[in-house]
Structures are given as C-alpha cells and as structure tokens.
Amino acid sequence: MFEIARSELIQIFRNRLVLVTGLIIPVAVSGFFVYQHEIFSDLGSLGYVAAIVLFSVTAFGLYTTAVTTLAARRQDLFLKRLRSTAASDPSILTGLVLPVTVIALIQVVAILIVLGVVSTSPAEIPLLVVAILATMAMMVALALATAGLTNSPEHAQVTTLPVSLAVIAVASWVGISGTENLAYVKRLLPGGAATELVMNAWDGGVSLADSLPLLIPTVAWVVLAVALAGRLFRWELRR
C-alpha cells in the first residue's frame, strides 16, 4: 500500500494539471474566503467560513483529484496490473487515494490555522477534528463511487461537477440560512450535517452531546457511497 502511495505521490508532483486543479485552485479559493472572512462571517459566521474552506479543498482538491487519478490509472491499465500482484483491492485503492487525502488534510489544517489566527480560534477543536475527518471520509467514498461512472480523466471533469457543486451549495445554504427551517432536509443532504457540525465546533454555543448526532448523516453517506462503489467500480477499461 505504501509503495503504491509513494509512486502516486511522485506522479502527482509530475503532473502540472493535477498540481493546479488539486493543489493551487483549492488553496486560492480558500485563501479568498479567509482574506474576506469578515464579509462572509457577516453572511453566516466564522464557522460558515471554516466549512466553506473545508468543502472547497475536499470537493475541488480531494474529491476531483481522486476521481481523476482512479480514472487515469484504469485507462493506462495500471489498476489491472496492480490487481495481478499480491496487493489486495482495498490496499490498492487506499494507496492510490492516500497521497491526495494527506495533501488535502494538510491544506485544510493549514488554512484553518490561518483563519484562527486572523479571526477567532475554534471553540471546540476536538469536535472540529472529528468534523474534518468525517467530511474527508465522505468525499473519498463519493470519489470511489464516482470513479465507477468515469470513463477517462477527461470525463472526470464532467462526472465530478454535480457532487462538487452540490456540497458547496449545501454548505452555503446551511451556513447562511442555518437549520431553524427545513433542518432535517438540510442535514440529510451531502455536506449539510457536516457544515452544521463545523459551525458548532467553531462558533460554540452548542453542547457536544447535541453536536455528535450530526455525524450520523455524514457516516450514512460514507456507507452509501462505499456500497455504490462496490457495485459501480471497474478495474479495467469501460466499454
């Protein structure tokens, strides 16, 4: 697994397109929200800004890059060759998505630290950590499912758009309007409960006991996406 991850990390830094779409663009977008945090916090709160940063990186960096990577490795038959080795299917997939996952985690942590420095630190750091990890798990799972519908790296530019835009839209909807109205609908949508969890962790005012149940919808999306990936994912070229 770690040999696969090391090889994939090398490929990431050799591919200029991946560097731009997976590293530079998410950081640039997140940096804009941090720079203008006073304006966006007036729309929602600092927790809303933190949630948008999280989903900007995980949607446009982690999710999109993971789908593109898996589609590219299928197209060049690398997945097929790996499957002929002693490595198990889970270790192969983990090795391929591990580098971009770690990179995205570093990006999120670094940008949120900057946000905390220029504004106010999060009220519940452990809860924020849980929210970040749960969100990243959801986006990786959705990437595995989407990769099953993606024929090529070029096709990934189309297949990743619905989920990427949806989670950003849901995060903005929840962050700006709150969950006083249509709470169950907002929490059941992908990213809705995670956004509320990040807001609770950053802004405070909500007990830990009341916040932890918000993990359930996010975990449910992980389970659903993994189940879909099991049915849709292909190891060889799609015909």
Structure tokens at 119: 């504004």
Structure tokens at 97: 């998505």
Q: What is the per-residue DSSP string for 21-52?
A: IIIIHHHHHHHHHHHTHHHHHHHS-HHHHHHH
Round to whole Å and give the CA distance between 135 and 152: 26
Round to whole Å and give the CA distance between 206 and 75: 48
Long-range contacts, stretch 27-33, CB < 8 angstroms, 24+ apart: 27/57, 27/107, 27/111, 29/56, 29/60, 30/56, 30/57, 30/107, 30/111, 31/111
pLDDT value at residue 189: 95
pLDDT by 10s per residue, the chain, length 239:
777 888 777 777 777 666 666 677 777 777 777 767 666 677 778 899 999 999 999 998 899 999 998 998 888 888 888 888 877 888 999 999 999 999 999 999 999 999 888 888 898 999 999 999 999 999 999 999 999 899 888 888 899 999 999 999 999 999 999 888 898 999 999 999 999 999 999 998 787 788 889 999 999 999 999 999 999 888 887 65
Nearest to 148 by CA among 70, 60, 63: 70
pLDDT value at residue 35: 67
pLDDT value at residue 80: 83
Longest CA–CA separation in the chain, Å: 55
Task: Give the start-to-end residue ranges of the domains of the chain.
Answer: 2-232
